[in-house]
C-alpha cells in the first residue's frame, strides 16, 4: 500500500475477549490508524462497545465487508474461529492483526500464514514483548558474547486465574476445543516467541507436563516444559493460571539466560513502570564491574501492554504504509504453536517430543 495522508481504517472483529477495549487507546494514540467499525454477533457486547467508541456496528463479517472500506482487521475471536475469519478478510485485501496465539492449533496458524501470502496482505500477532527495551538488552548481551556460550534459560509467566475469563466475557478460553488449551496456549506462547527471538534459534525438542487443579473445565491450570534449542540451550518454562490474587498487578513474570561467561535476569514490571535487569559477566568488557543493574523506565501509555502495545500497533501501521515487514509475523505465531503442540504431545506420551 502506498504512503497516504489518510489513516488506515481498522475494524475490531470479535468482542468476547479480554483485550478489545484495551486496544482502543493504542489505536487512538497512533495517528496512522483509526478504528471505524466493530463486528460482534452478541448485541449485548456489540452495542455498548459501538456506542462508547462511536463506531459502526455489524453482527457479522460479511455485513461489515459489504458496507465498509477497511485496511486492518484486529481479530479477537475464539482461537478456533480465527483461521476462517482471517482467510475471508485476507481475500478482501485486508491486513491482519490476529490476537495471539492466532489459532487453536498449529495447522490453523499455518492456514492463516498461507491465506495471507496468497492474498498479499501483511499479518502480525501480539507478541509485543519483543518491543520491550529489556528484551532487546537480553538479545544484545547474547549476541555480543558477554554471556559466553548460552547454556540455559528460564521463563515464568503466571497471570490471573481461570475466573477472569468468565468475568471478561470469554468463557470459551476454558474450552479446549475453542481455545486449544490452557496457559501454555495463551501465555506460554509469549515466552516461547521471546526466547526464539532473543536466542535467534528454534526449538527442536520439548518435554512437558500439565497440571490440572480445577474440576469445572477441560483445560489445565499449570503447564511446565523444557525446550531444547537447535544450538544446545535448554529453557525451562513455568506457565500458570494460579498466581495469587495478592501478587502485584496480578502477574508473576521472570526471565533469565545463563551462559559460560555470565547470566542476565529480569522480573518484568509490565506496564509503564521501572524495570531492572541484573547482569553478571566474566567477559573482559565487564572488568572492574562484573555485576550491573540496568534500569529502564518506560513511557506510561494507556492500553494493552502499555508502551509495548503502542509500538506494536505503530510498527504494524508503518509496515503497511511503507511496504515493510512487521517485527512480529504470522510465521512467528505459527512457530510458537508448533512448540506448544509438541509440549502437549510430550505431556500425553510422557517422553520428549520433536517439534
8 A C-beta contact, residue 332 and residue 102: no
For residue 318, give the C-alpha cell. 508503518
8 A C-beta contact, residue 186 and residue 101: yes
Q: Which helix (H) or strand (E) holds 226?
A: strand 222-229
pLDDT higher than threshold 70 for residue 1: no
**Same domain, yes or no: 14 and 118:** yes
Could you give the percent of the chain with pLDDT greater than 90?
Answer: 88
Lowest mean per-residue pLDDT among 73-77, 303-307, 319-323, 339-343: 303-307
Using DSSP bridges, classify how beta strands 353-354 and 251-259 pair: parallel, antiparallel or unpaired.
Answer: unpaired
Q: What pLDDT score does 295 carry?
A: 87
Q: What pLDDT score does 270 carry?
A: 66
8 A C-beta contact, residue 201 and residue 231: yes
Q: What pLDDT score does 22 carry?
A: 97
**Same domain, yes or no: 79 and 138:** no
Mean pLDDT of 332-336: 98
Residue 97 lies in a domain: yes
Q: Look up the domain containing 90 and give its range.
A: 8-128+308-327
Q: What pLDDT score does 4 carry?
A: 53
Quote the CA–CA distance of 234 and 273 in Å, as a whole number: 30
Quote the CA–CA distance of 227 and 173 in Å, as a whole number: 25
pLDDT higher than threshold 90 for residue 269: no
Give the global pTM: 0.96
Q: Which CATH number belongs to the domain containing residue 318 in this structure?
A: 3.40.50.720
**Same domain, yes or no: 315 and 293:** no
Return the percent helix, strand and coil in the chain, to nearest 5. 40, 25, 35
**Same domain, yes or no: 247 and 150:** yes
Mean pLDDT of 139-149: 97
**Same domain, yes or no: 149 and 254:** yes
pLDDT higher than threshold 60 for residue 272: no
Residue 56 lies in a domain: yes
* Residues 179-211: tens digit of each pLDDT: 999 999 999 999 999 999 999 999 999 999 999
**Same domain, yes or no: 76 and 109:** yes
pLDDT bracket for residue 314 (50, 70, 90) = very high
**Same domain, yes or no: 263 and 200:** yes
Q: What pLDDT score does 246 carry?
A: 84
Q: Which CATH number belongs to the domain containing residue 176 in this structure?
A: 3.30.360.10
**Same domain, yes or no: 187 and 295:** yes
Q: How far is CA 189 from CA 102, 114, 198, in A?
A: 11, 20, 14
Amino acid at each position: 500500500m502506498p504512503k497516504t495522508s489518510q489513516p488506515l481504517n481498522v475494524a475490531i472483529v470479535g468482542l468476547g475477549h479480554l483485550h478489545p477495549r484495551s486496544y482502543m487507546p493504542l489505536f487512538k494514540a497512533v495517528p496512522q490508524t483509526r478504528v471505524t467499525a466493530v463486528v460482534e454477533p452478541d448485541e449485548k457486547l456489540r452495542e455498548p462497545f459501538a456506542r462508547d467508541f462511536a463506531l459502526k456496528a455489524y453482527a457479522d463479517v460479511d455485513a461489515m465487508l459489504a458496507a465498509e472500506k477497511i485496511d486492518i482487521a484486529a481479530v479477537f475471536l475464539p482461537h478456533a474461529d480465527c483461521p476462517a475469519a482471517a482467510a475471508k478478510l485476507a481475500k478482501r485485501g485486508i491486513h491482519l492483526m490476529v490476537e495471539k496465539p492466532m489459532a487453536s492449533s498449529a495447522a490453523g496458524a499455518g492456514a492463516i500464514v498461507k491465506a495471507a501470502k496468497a492474498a498479499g496482505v501483511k499479518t502480525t500477532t501480539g507478541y509485543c514483548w519483543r518491543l520491550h527495551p529489556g528484551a532487546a538488552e537480553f538479545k544484545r548481551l547474547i549476541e555480543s558474547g558477554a554471556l559466553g556460550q548460552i547454556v540455559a534459560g528460564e521463563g515464568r509467566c503466571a497471570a490471573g486465574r481461570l475466573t477472569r475469563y468468565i468475568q471478561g466475557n470469554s468463557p470459551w478460553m476454558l474450552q479446549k476445543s475453542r481455545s486449544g488449551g490452557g496457559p501454555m496456549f495463551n501465555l506460554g506462547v509469549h515466552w516461547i516467541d521471546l526466547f526464539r527471538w532473543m536466542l535467534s534459534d528454534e526449538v527442536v525438542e520439548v518435554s512437558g507436563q500439565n497440571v490440572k487443579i480445577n474440576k469445572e473445565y477441560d483445560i489445565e491450570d499449570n503447564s511446565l516444559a523444557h525446550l531444547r534449542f537447535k544450538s544446545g540451550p535448554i529453557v525451562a518454562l513455568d506457565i500458570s493460571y494460579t498466581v495469587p490474587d495478592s501478587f502485584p498487578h496480578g502477574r508473576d513474570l521472570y526471565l533469565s539466560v545463563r551462559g559460560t561467561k555470565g547470566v542476565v535476569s529480569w522480573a518484568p514490571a509490565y506496564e509503564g513502570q521501572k524495570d531492572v535487569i541484573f547482569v553478571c559477566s566474566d567477559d573482559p568488557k565487564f572488568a572492574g564491574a562484573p555485576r550491573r543493574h540496568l534500569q529502564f523506565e518506560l513511557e506510561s501509555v494507556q492500553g494493552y501492554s502499555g508502551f509495548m502495545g503502542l509500538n506494536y500497533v505503530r510498527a504494524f501501521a508503518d509496515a503497511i504504509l511503507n511496504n515493510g515487514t512487521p517485527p512480529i509475523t504470522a510465521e512467528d505465531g505459527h512457530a510458537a504453536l508448533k512448540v506448544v503442540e509438541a509440549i502437549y504431545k510430550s505431556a500425553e506420551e510422557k517422553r520428549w517430543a520433536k517439534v
